[in-house]
């Protein structure tokens, strides 16, 4: 009898203990306590501004020529002024730096070039004091060839770590297929003399693949996640998710994926920290999205929308909006607690692999016509500002990105329209130091020696012309324009939370989207043409109410037929709230 009572008591306690965890997983309150979405703190990622930083290229605090955590902490007030909510940090663990830190040699340390564990802790404290969250890159699919695990694995077939990697006694038939970096890579299986066997590496040969069919490797990945959660991070950007969950011995052109691993990582993550997130890098087709997002509460919280990104650039290059509209519709249906991350450029090449060859060639012609601007037989290795035709098209592109369904993600330096250095190899072209001022080394570093990655000091995008200090003083600068549109975006939670639809625009060159959420409505209008356009649209919501411009002083009233008629300049854009401008109700 006592045992039964004790068991009942334990079960009751477990029910109450698990309820908060279930809320954190699903983001859905119990029916009797239905909260509005913005009240669920676990879904903070649905409406944030994310800023991507390469720590070694952002700010050098000690004059050694390398950016560091102290330098990043010094610039947090600048990022707060800009309106940043979340910092996404590139890898900062110890690394031989053969691939910008994505070749990790110790998952539990801080690269001494970037600072000490104390510097990291102080940075985290300073970021959290300003209300900023921190998401870090987590590179789980491979290690550096110099990682102690691999060094021990290659020494003996009886090593504990041998099965932590993927080996073959004979060279597999697929040894030169499935390369992530075609044109640069030569193989995906390489013979190791010391091991006397071939090892798998979907990426460079100095990045051997970890073997996730081994339960010990899965458990170690959880330890890594748990460790950094204890250091205060708020989530992880999972690098190359499809390759983590892929069976490396399957056909590289049609690989087998073990999606239950994503669910396992999510369960562990949220057991340790209920509102932490996984932001996945998975450049997949729309029909595969559901398997990565999973059902409510068991997949990746966020994914970058590579599919829409590629079609955005096609539309910017050609003014043909139909593929973009289809891409938006094709990626619409995701779980209510999931979210897309929208971006224009990131730390890699602009990947155009999901476009048709004809579409890709048109983007090349418009934005990367020279051979040295292209990379990996699929992409463009340029920064955004030099790619686009002028400031007006640059504003249009960013206005669109902030207005697309999801959460906006900005690459450091793009807020001041930085350029690229095509003399640098591969993706290093878009990883040059941040341009803070017109002083030595762009204000990035006081070092007297030559920097590992040089600043841009020639041409239209030289730091003497393009820098933060000058743009802060110029009310018409791109930096101030970006800060203003971020502020406007924060008045538009409908974009992160609401339903949306595409309205007929009366012009094939203009995209008109309407957002609806809790009785509030937005209409976002973007002209992809460099020519003026007459736009005519209506909906049940807009037919009877005014449109209040969020970006400039303007009120528009519908005509007698219920249509709104708007004349847009070339590359023009408008953000409208339907009804009273300040009638935000309880949506903030």
Residue 461: CATH number of its domain: 3.20.20.80
What is the reported pLDDT for 390?
97
pLDDT at 582: 62
The pLDDT of residue 341: 98
456 and 364 in a common domain: yes
Full strand arrangement of the beta sheet holding 520-527: 499-503, 510-517, 520-527, 573-578, 547-549, 555-556
Q: State the Cα–Cα distance between residues 401 and 430, nearest whole angstrom.
A: 19
Least Cα distance to 404 among 447, 331, 342, 476 occurs for 342
- Give the angle subtended at the CA of 289 by the CAs of 285 and 295, to the nearest 5°: 165
Q: Please indicate, yes or no, if residue 226 is contained in any of the structural domains.
A: yes
pLDDT over 50 (residue 276): yes
18, pLDDT greater than 70: no
* Annotation marks residue 450 as catalytic: no
Higher pLDDT pick, 33 / 551: 551
Q: Given a cut of 90, is residue 249 above it in pLDDT?
A: no
Is the pTM for the entire model greater than 0.85? yes
Domain-embedded: residue 381: yes
> Are residues 464 and 409 part of one domain?
yes
Q: Does residue 538 lie within any of the structural domains?
A: yes
Q: Indicate which CATH number applies to the domain containing 556.
A: 2.60.40.1180
Burial of 356 (0-12, 13-18, 19+ CB in 10 A): exposed
**Mean pLDDT value of segment 239-243:** 95
Same domain flag for 529 and 450:
no
Contact assessment for residue 288 and residue 335, using Cβ atoms and an 8 Å cutoff? no
* Mean pLDDT to the nearest integer, 79-98: 98
Q: Do residue 72 and residue 99 come from a single domain?
A: yes
pLDDT value, residue 248 = 85
Cβ count within 10 A of residue 263 = 15
CA distance 119 to 4: 53
Separation between Cα atoms, residue 340 and residue 378, nearest integer Å: 23
Q: Tokens 């309820």 identify what position?
A: 19
**What pLDDT score was predicted for residue 296?**
76
SS (H, E, C) 313-378: HHHHHHCCCHHHHHHHHHCCCCCCCCEEEEECCCCCCEECCCCCHHHHHHHHHHHCCCHHHEECCC
Poorest-pLDDT segment among 38-52, 64-78, 217-231, 306-320 = 38-52
Q: Is residue 365 part of a domain?
A: yes
Res. 387 pLDDT band, cuts 50 70 90? very high
Query: Is residue 349 situated within a structural domain?
Result: yes
Q: Is the pLDDT of residue 41 over 90?
A: no
Q: Choosing from 60, 281, 349, 421, which is the catalytic residue?
A: 281
- Stretch 344-353: mean pLDDT, rounded? 95
Q: Are residues 12 and 74 in the same domain?
A: no
For residue 510, what are the domain limits?
Answer: 498-578
pLDDT over 90 at 326, yes or no: yes
281 is catalytic: yes
16 in the same domain as 64: no
C-alpha 520: how far from chain center: 28
- Tokens read off for 447: 């070092």
pLDDT at 12 over 50: no
Whether residue 324 is found in the same domain as residue 270: yes
In this structure, are 133 and 191 located in the same domain?
A: no
Asked whether the predicted pLDDT for residue 6 surpasses 50, the reply is: no
Q: Confidence band (pLDDT; 50, 70, 90) for 13?
A: very low
**pLDDT range class, residue 584, cuts 50, 70, 90:** low
- Mean pLDDT confidence for 143-164: 97
* Residues 438 and 557 occupy one common structural domain: no
pLDDT band at 550 (very low <50, low <70, confident <90, very high): very high
Asked if residue 458 and residue 430 are part of one domain, the reply reads: yes
The answer, yes or no, to whether residue 40 has pLDDT greater than 60, is no
Q: Which of 60, 99, 239, 428 is catalytic?
A: 239
> Does 411 have pLDDT greater than 60?
yes
Position 7 scores a pLDDT of 39
Closest C-alpha among 366, 352, 351 to residue 318: 366
Q: State residue 583's pLDDT score.
A: 57
pLDDT for 322: 98
Cα dihedral 8/13/18/20 (nearest 10): 140
User: How many domains, in total, are found in the chain?
Assistant: 4
Confidence of residue 36 (pLDDT cuts 50, 70, 90): low
Residue 194: which CATH number?
Answer: 3.90.400.10
Provide CB contacts within 8 A for 339, sequence distance 6+. 45, 46, 301, 302, 406, 407, 496
Which residue, among 323, 320, 362, 359, has the nearest Cα to 508 in the 3D structure? 320
Of 433, 461, 489, the one marking the end of a domain is: 489
**Percentage of the chain exceeding pLDDT 70:** 92
Is the same domain home to 467 and 552? Answer: no
Contacts of 7 (CB under 8 A, 6+ apart): none
Domain assignment present for 208:
no
Kindly state whether residue 353 falls inside one of the protein's structural domains.
Answer: yes
Are 430 and 365 contained in the same domain?
A: yes
Q: Is residue 98 part of a domain?
A: yes
């Amino acid at each position: 009898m006592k045992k039964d009572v004790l068991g009942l008591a334990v079960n009751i306690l477990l029910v109450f203990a698990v309820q908060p965890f279930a809320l954190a997983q699903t983001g859905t309150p119990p029916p009797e306590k239905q909260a509005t979405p913005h009240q669920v703190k676990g879904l903070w990622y649905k409406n944030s501004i994310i800023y991507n930083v390469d720590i070694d290229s952002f700010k050098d605090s000690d004059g050694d020529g390398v950016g560091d955590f102290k330098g990043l902490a010094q610039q947090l007030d600048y990022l707060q002024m800009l309106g940043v909510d979340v910092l996404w940090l590139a890898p900062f663990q110890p690394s031989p730096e053969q691939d910008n830190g994505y070749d990790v040699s110790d998952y539990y340390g801080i690269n001494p070039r970037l600072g000490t564990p104390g510097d990291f802790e102080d940075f985290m404290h300073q970021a959290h004091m300003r209300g900023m969250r921190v998401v870090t890159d987590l590179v789980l699919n491979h290690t550096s060839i110099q990682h102690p695990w691999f060094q021990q694995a290659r020494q003996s077939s009886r090593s504990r770590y041998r099965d932590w990697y993927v080996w073959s006694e004979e060279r597999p038939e697929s040894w030169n297929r499935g390369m992530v970096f075609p044109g640069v890579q030569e193989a995906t299986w390489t013979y190791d003399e010391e091991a006397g066997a071939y090892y798998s590496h979907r990426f460079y040969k100095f990045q051997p693949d970890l073997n996730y069919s081994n339960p010990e490797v899965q458990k170690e990945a959880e330890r890594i996640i748990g460790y950094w959660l204890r250091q205060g991070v708020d989530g992880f950007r999972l690098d190359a998710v499809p390759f983590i969950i892929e069976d490396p011995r399957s056909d590289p052109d049609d690989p087998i994926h073990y999606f239950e691993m994503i669910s396992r990582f999510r369960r562990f993550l949220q057991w340790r920290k209920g509102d932490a997130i996984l932001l996945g890098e998975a450049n997949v087709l729309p029909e595969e999205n559901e398997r990565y997002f999973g059902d409510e509460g068991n997949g990746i919280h966020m994914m970058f929308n590579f599919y829409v990104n590629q079609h955005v650039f096609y539309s910017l290059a050609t003014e043909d909006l139909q593929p973009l509209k289809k891409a938006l519709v094709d990626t619409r249906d995701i779980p209510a607690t999931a979210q897309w991350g929208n971006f224009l450029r990131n730390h890699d090449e602009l990947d155009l692999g999901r476009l048709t060859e004809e579409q890709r060639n048109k983007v090349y012609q418009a934005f990367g016509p020279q051979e040295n601007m292209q990379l990996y037989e699929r992409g463009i290795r340029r920064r955004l500002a030099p790619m686009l035709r002028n400031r007006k098209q640059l504003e249009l592109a960013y206005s669109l990105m902030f207005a697309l369904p999801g959460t906006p993600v900005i690459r450091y330096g793009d807020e001041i329209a930085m350029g690229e250095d095509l003399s640098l190899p591969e993706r290093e072209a878009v990883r040059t130091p941040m341009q803070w001022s017109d002083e030595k080394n762009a204000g990035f570093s006081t070092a007297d020696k030559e920097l590992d990655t040089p600043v841009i000091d020639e041409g239209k995008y030289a730091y003497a012309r393009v820098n933060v200090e000058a743009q802060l003083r110029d009310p018409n600068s791109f930096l101030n324009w970006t800060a203003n549109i971020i502020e406007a975006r924060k008045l538009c939670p409908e974009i992160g939370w609401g339903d949306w639809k595409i309205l007929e625009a009366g012009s094939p060159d203009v995209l008109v989207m309407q957002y609806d959420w809790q009785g509030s409505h937005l209409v976002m209008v973007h002209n992809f043409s460099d020519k003026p356009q007459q736009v005519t649209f209506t909906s049940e919501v807009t037919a009877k109410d005014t449109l209040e411009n969020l970006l400039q002083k303007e009120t528009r009233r519908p005509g007698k037929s219920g249509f709104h008629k708007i004349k847009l300049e070339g590359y023009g854009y408008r953000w409208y709230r339907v009804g009273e401008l300040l009638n935000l109700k309880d949506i903030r």
